[in-house]
Amino acid sequence: MTAMSSTIKCLKLISDPTRLRILALLNQDALSVAELQEILGMGQSRISTQLSQLKTAGLVNDERAGKNNVYSASIPKELTSVVSHAIAEVPETTSDNLALQHILSKRKDYARAYFDELAGRFGKDYVPGRSWKALAEALIKSLNYCHVADLGAGEGTLSQLLAQRAEKVIAVDLSPKMVEYAQSLAHKNGLHNLEFRIGDIESPPIDNGTIDLAILSQALHHAENPQRAIDAAFRILKPGGRIIILDLLQHSFTEARELYADRWLGFSESQLASMLKKSGFIDIETLIADKEDAHPKFQTLLGIGAKL
């Protein structure tokens, strides 16, 4: 097929309002057929047929996530402007976007419920990718920072270690129960320079340009949009501030989505480096900090960067 005929085929496909609505939604976030059904109010077979046509034309990609396929948009650069203008003319766009936000909110509610259940026993149970060896790798690079943000702090194990050296540590977590438990534990241990705040790592409740070091320890793969989480870390850092990310190296253990409320199956070194660069970080480094022996043999990815 020539480039011209391929472009014409894509234009014919997106001329259909239903396919255009699907493409508009998938261009914002990866979604399953069930989620598209809920947003669009259409039957599974109709949506699956449209997705199949979009995928054949290369406008949509799919990835296996547990028992379902998750779809995302893959719009060619030369069609971006055309698609954008066409979407703006679809009358259902506003209601579709509101329904999408509801779906994304439900996902976060699921993650919040999972971590609420873990409050008080987080340090006692197994968590993929969390090891003292990996934490030590990060801590070595985090000495002598005045103001530190621990984003996606959970029960605050790392935050408490950081508070022993930093002037001020702000720990952010989405789960109110986790924050309540962690704050009481910090108070019990006399760590008055450690403050816990309820918030999303994609929009942490921390003022711009106030942090010397931002840490995301096994939190990024729970984010709805990892790039937005890294962007947010960049926003709160002072010039000269640094970011440390500890997360899972990309893996194929799909059960992690249900077992640990994971949104993403880890990241490759190149993906993490690319996201850091896109946010504006410089002096970027990535390395494999730890490898687990037991199945499914998770590996811990460490990434660091600096804000100019």
Q: Note the pLDDT tens digit of each residue in 129-141.
A: 766 667 665 665 5
pTM, 2 dp: 0.65
Which fold, 132-306? Rossmann fold (3.40.50)
pLDDT at 143: 66
pLDDT at 1: 43
The 3-class SS string of 77-103 reads HHHHHHHHHHHHCCCCHHHHHHHHHHH
Q: Is the pLDDT of residue 5 over 80?
A: no
Residue 223: what pLDDT? Answer: 95
Right CATH for 3-91 from 1.10.10.10, 3.30.450.40, 3.40.50.150, 1.10.150.120: 1.10.10.10
Structural domain spans, the chain: 3-91, 132-306
How many other CB atoms are found less than 10 A from the CB of residue 41? 10
For 45-84, write each residue's pLDDT tens digit.
Answer: 999 999 999 999 989 999 877 677 899 999 988 888 998 8
Q: What is the pLDDT of residue 132?
A: 64
Express each pLDDT in 142-181 by its tens digit.
567 899 999 999 989 889 888 888 899 999 999 999 999 9
For residue range 75-121, list pLDDT tens digits in order: 988 888 998 899 999 999 999 998 898 888 888 877 888 778 777 76
Q: How does pLDDT run across 231-260, given as a tens digit for each residue? A: 999 999 999 999 999 999 999 999 999 999
- Distance from the Cα of residue 72 to its chain's centroid: 15
Strand-strand pairing, 60-65 and 68-73: antiparallel
